[in-house]
Chains A and B, each alone.
Chain A
Amino acid sequence: GQNIDQPTEMTATEGAIVQINCTYQTSGFNGLFWYQQHAGEAPTFLSYNVLDGLEEKGRFSSFLSRSKGYSYLLLKELQMKDSASYLCAVLDSNYQLIWGAGTKLIIKP
């Protein structure tokens, strides 16, 4: 079966750095997405990785290792507004998006 694993919840301090991991086992791979979802709101796009390596976008970076079936989202200089759920999703060989359950990130002052 297809599976995406990410931690259920993480806590970090304002101003710090946090890394949210995602491991996947899917039938094929055509890219990996990270989305942010604030409570009660819709998911919004953060990043897309299809090749190995690190993609940096401001305070957010996303890393992919296809051989290890692994990705992480790195958030720097954490702000209170970063408190949200972070969803990892993989595009499989049929170009269907398989979603992880999400990681709830709690930022403390």
Chain B
Amino acid sequence: NAGVTQTPKFRVLKTGQSMTLLCAQDMNHEYMYWYRQDPGMGLRLIHYSVGEGTTAKGEVPDGYNVSRLKKKKQNFLLGLESAAPSQTSVYFCASTPGAESDTQYFGPGTRLTVL
């Protein structure tokens, strides 16, 4: 089992460019999450999904969109339509088997810099 994987590991964007971060898990988990982690702050939830074809907003959703297709429920995509320097951060994907009280399994992270 690879667990939770994320691509890419690093990326540099210019302001206004778009990109998609891919998260994939092979544990058949229902719940998937996208977080950002900034220095001196706790992990902040961007968007999450409680099952295939469903998504919901977290604490800091503005500027991001997500997709979790029914036929590819193991994947959870995070999109930035028009990147801003404020979106420079480390992005983590996580998944849990079911209930919100389950342990979260994290991917290795994507370090994004927006110039």
Number of interface residues of B (CB under 8 A): 19
Assembly CA distance A50 to B99 (angstroms):
14
Determine the distance from Cα of A33 to Cα of B101 in the docked complex, in whole angstroms.
Answer: 9
Q: How far is the CA of A95 from the CA of B56 in the complex (A)?
A: 13
By beta carbon, the residue of chain A nearest B41 is A101
Q: Is there a chain A Cβ closer than 8 Å to B92's Cβ?
A: yes
Q: Which of B44, B45, B103 contacts A48 (CB 8 A)?
A: B103
A31 part of interface (Cβ distance < 8 Å) = yes
Interface of B is mostly: loop
Q: Across the interface, which residues of B come within 8 angstroms of A100, CB to CB? A: 42
Which residues of B56-115 have CB atoms within 8 Å of chain A's CB atoms?
Answer: 58-59, 92, 99-101, 103-109
Q: Tell me, yes or no, whether A18 is within 8 Å of chain B by CB.
A: no
Q: Kindly state whether residue A96 has any CB partner on chain B within 8 Å.
A: yes
Contact partners of A41 in chain B: CB under 8 A:
108-109
Docked Cα-Cα span, A43 to B45, in Å, equals 14
Is A91 touching B42 in the complex (CB atoms < 8 A)? no
Given the complex, which residues of A lie within 8 Å of B58, measured CB to CB? 96
Task: List, in ascending order, chain A residues with CB within 8 A of B106's CB.
Answer: 42-44
Chain B's closest residue to A8 (CB) is B40
Measured in the bound complex, the distance between the Cα atoms of B43 and A54 in whole Å is 26
CB contacts (< 8 Å) of B99 on chain A: these are: 95
Provide the residues of chain A in CB contact with B40, threshold 8 Å: 8, 101
Chain A: residues with CB nearer than 8 A to chain B? Answer: 4, 8, 30-31, 33, 41-45, 48, 50, 87, 89, 91, 95-102
Q: What 5 A-B pairs have minimum CB-CB distances, sorted nearest first?
A: A99-B42, A95-B100, A42-B106, A99-B43, A45-B103
Interface pairs (9), CB distance under 8 Å: A41-B108, A42-B106, A42-B109, A43-B43, A43-B106, A44-B106, A45-B104, A50-B101, A96-B45
